[in-house]
Each structure stands twice: as structure tokens, then as C-alpha cells.
Amino acid sequence: MNSSRKPLWLKVDLPRHPDYFAVSKLLKEKHLHTICTSAKCPNLATCWSHKTATFLIMGDTCTRNCAFCAVAHGTPSPLSPEEPDDIAETAAILGLRYAVITSVTRDDLSDGGAAHFAAVVTAVRKKIPGVIVETLISDFGGDSAALDTLLSIRPEVLNHNLEVPRILYSRINRPAANYSRSLKVLETAKQQGLPTKSGLMIGLGESDEDILQALTDLRTVGCDLLTIGQYLQPNRSHPPVSKYYTPEEFDRWKHEALSLGFRDAQTGPLVRSSYRAHELYRSLKEQAV
């Protein structure tokens, strides 16, 4: 579909549910960030109305400047030693049984923030026994020791986004070598026996062949779960949308992903990395029985 006008299927409702406002108030009181707000997620009202949120740790300022991303970039603040307990307490108040934790990229830190990330997960597990944790991580600058620090806590799902096909890395202001680095992150996690997950945005100028190659590359490193969503331009300083994919096209890509061997996939115009994350995990566990 032509990118000159946003299609009707991308329309989202304004928040009305009381739980949305309760979550918003709680996060402000705890001075916590979520990827929901920082990345301008279109599902924010829906998720918060169901008392779910994806915590964004290590601040709200990224040290990288990926062209597609709405998260602020620049010089981040020092890490907060209270953050692990604050995240854990908030997750408990929300009654989370499935917690998704992500972070900005912190290339300014010697380990990319891996130890802090692990501390947050440990605190959440201590506060909520039996909680399932999905970690959506950066590539830690390719530091294998930092990655091992994160993997040592054995999250129930290790999520790391490829973001776009390899051919578009230059367009999103990422070195081409980072594509292979991201595949290595997923491969390493899989070799250590962790369920793995990755995601793509489409609508930045890729071809069907480019998407198929990215999916094939992910399956080559054993990636289990997949999300594919529509790229939406955060503001005019970001690349414009090249194409709005129809819901039917997203359905076709789900069928293609499953045929390639992904255990399950969420695909759709409004799908994002943590969209219905608990459902993908449940599907994976049911298939393992």
C-alpha cells in the first residue's frame, strides 16, 4: 500500500480504562521508564489497560542513534542502584506473572550494563516467586563476557531484535557488521539451551526476498519465536514509511515463518517486540510437552 496516508487498520483507541491511568500513575511515582512510552508504542493504551508494561531499564537515553527508533539518544545518566528493587516492587504491585524487561543500549558502560540487567531480573524473581522473565537485550557491543553475564541468570526467553533485513542496516544507521553480531547473540543463547526470540520491522524499503532472507538467517541460528510489525515514522527526522503492509500480507508472513520452522510468530501492523509475549511463550511450552 502507498505510504502517503496511514491506513485505517493502524488506528488505535485513546486510553479510557481506569487501569491505564493507575499504571501511568504508578510508573510516575516510582520514576520508572517503559519502552511503551519511550518508543511510542501504538499498543500502550491496550497493554496498560491490562496492567502489563515492558520495563525500560538503565534510563531512557540510548548511546546509539538508530534512525528508526523513537527512544532518546545522547549521554545517559548514571545507573540507579535502587532500580532493581523499584522494578521488582512495581512488577509485584501490577501482579505480573510474565515480566518483559528491556533496556537502552549503554555503550558507555564497560559491560554494556549486563550486570545491572541481571540484578534487575534477580530482584524481580526474588519479589515474585515463579515469575516468568523475558529479557529483550542489546548486543552488548559484541562483548561475549557481558552476554554470558546476562545468560547466566537464564531468562525464560532471550529476545534480541534483528530489526530489519541486512540490506537496510545502513539506512537505519547501523554498521553492516552488527547484523552478524545480532545473529551471534541469538546463536549463543540457543547453544546455552535458552528459548530465543527476535523481531523485524517492515515498511522501510525492503523487498520480499530481503524479509525471507532475514527469516532464513534467524532460523539458521535456531531462533524459536518471531515478531513482525509495521514500521511507523516517529517524527519527520526519521525515515519515512516506504510501504504500509496489509493485515493479509502480515498473515502471509506468519505462514511463511511457521513453514520455515519458527515455533510460533506474532505478525501484524501493530505488533511489537513484547506484543502478547506471554502467548508466544505459552505456545512454545505447549509444543515442548
pLDDT tens-digit series, residues 261-272: 999 999 999 898
Under a CB-based contact definition with an 8 Å cutoff, are residues 159 and 195 in contact? no
User: With bands split at pLDDT 50, 70 and 90, how would you rate the model's confidence at 229?
Assistant: very high
| Residue 108 in domain | yes
Residue 71, in any domain of the structure:
yes
Question: Does 2 fall in a domain?
Answer: no
Residue 68 maps to a domain: yes
Q: What is the CATH number of the domain that holds 109?
A: 3.20.20.70
Cell 502489563 belongs to 52
CA 43 to chain centre: 13
What is the pTM for the complete model shown?
Answer: 0.90
Which bin fits 262, alpha (ψ -120 to 50), beta or left (φ > 0)? beta
- Total domain count, the chain: 1
Over residues 186-204, the pLDDT tens digits come to: 999 999 999 999 999 999 9
259 belongs to a structural domain: yes
Residue numbers of the domain that contains 37:
8-288
In a domain, 217, yes or no: yes
What mean pLDDT, rounded, does the chain reach? 88
* Residue (of 73, 145, 150) closest to 106 by Cα position: 73
Q: Is 1 contained in some domain?
A: no
pLDDT digits (tens, 9 = 90+) for 72-121: 889 999 999 999 999 999 889 888 888 899 999 999 999 999 999 999 99
Please give the share of the chain, as a percent, with pLDDT higher than 70.
87
What pLDDT, in 10s, does the model give residues 143-198?
Answer: 999 999 999 999 999 999 999 999 999 989 899 999 999 999 999 999 999 999 99
| Confidence at residue 7, expressed as pLDDT on a 0 to 100 scale | 86
The answer to the question of residue 3 being in a domain is no
Question: What's the pLDDT at 49?
Answer: 45
